[in-house]
Amino acid sequence: MRSLALIPLFLFLILSGCGPGANGLSSSTQDDPQVRTPNPNPSAQTYFSSCESNDPEVHCIGLKVVSFENQSGNPVLKESETLKLIAEMNEVWKTCKVAFQLEKFQSLQPESVGLPYSPDWKRDSDSIRAHFDEDNRFLIVAVGPWTNSTIAVAQMPGNGPYGVLVSEKYAKNPYTVGHELGHYQGLYHLRNKKNLMNSYIGPLTSGLGSAQCAIARRTNLRYWQKMLRGRGALL
Ligand SMILES: [Zn+2]
């Protein structure tokens, strides 16, 4: 079990995309000029809402999303695209009463901190995770194109640094990133073309079964208490 936890899990190819927007909040950003604070004007108000719920069973998980920028300054994931992605993933995960909220969004040219825009996932994943990992939020890093057919990786609970890395082509896909968040929450692959944890992601791979929900929720309580917000964190 422990040895499996050390193995980064990865997916290959094929996806579809789609869906609406989500919400988040930000805090203690003064020390980091690369972290954007939410616009306080009324039109940005929804940005402050969150997945915290009066339902004590909801696991509301804080997210930090880092988007790499290419040399022209174009981010793999824009902030608006990140919010949309999270809303779409929340649709997938709501069957488990698990939801995510954006708390920090950072867009930067990775070379400015000594990291490659197009990483080799075997060589670079841990250094990227270690650079951005925080102990109270799940981490998603949208990187440039990779050098092989892997499209996303996640570290299972048990041995950090933690974080999902997803290559640019799939960074907006809620089934790809949602699948990786499944690994984050202790789920392994399942052979089922309608399940989120199928190793090949396609237009129908969005399902989660009750046994998977139970594992994810148990994992969250065991490993990710610091990531949980609201009343769900107290149970
Ligand atoms: Zn996987």
Ligand 1 centroid–CA 197 distance in Å is 6
86 neighbors 44 (Cβ within 8 angstroms): no
Q: How far is the CA of 182 from the centre of ligand 1 (A)?
A: 8
Using one digit for the tens of pLDDT, what is the confidence trace for 138-177?
999 999 998 777 899 999 999 889 999 999 999 999 999 9
The domain over range 2-224 is classified in CATH as 3.40.390.10: yes
Asked if 230 contacts 60 with a C-beta cutoff of 8 angstroms, the reply is: yes
User: How far, in Å, is the centroid of ligand 1 from the Cα of 205?
Assistant: 12
Q: Rounded to two decimals, what is the model's pTM? A: 0.80
Distance (Å) from CA 123 to ligand 1 centroid: 19
Dist. CA 41 → ligand 1 center (Å): 39
The one-letter amino acid at 135: D
On the question of pLDDT at 209 being above 50, the answer is yes
Q: What sign results for the dihedral spanned by CA atoms 87, 88, 89, 91?
A: positive
Separation of 48 CA from ligand 1 center, angstroms? 31
For ligand 1, the distance from its centroid to the CA atom of residue 177, given in whole angstroms, is 10
Please tell me the distance between residue 233's alpha carbon and the centre of ligand 1 in angstroms: 26
Is residue 222 a contact partner of residue 160, using CB atoms and an 8 Å limit? no
Measured between alpha carbons, how far is 232 from 235 in angstroms, rounded to an integer?
A: 6
pLDDT tens for residues 51-92? 877 888 999 999 999 999 999 999 999 999 999 999 999 999
Distance 15 CA to ligand 1 centre (A): 13
What distance in Å separates the CA atoms of residue 1 and residue 123, rounded to the nearest whole number? 23
Residue 44 backbone phi and psi in degrees, to 5: -100, 15
What residue ranges do the domains of the chain occupy? 2-224
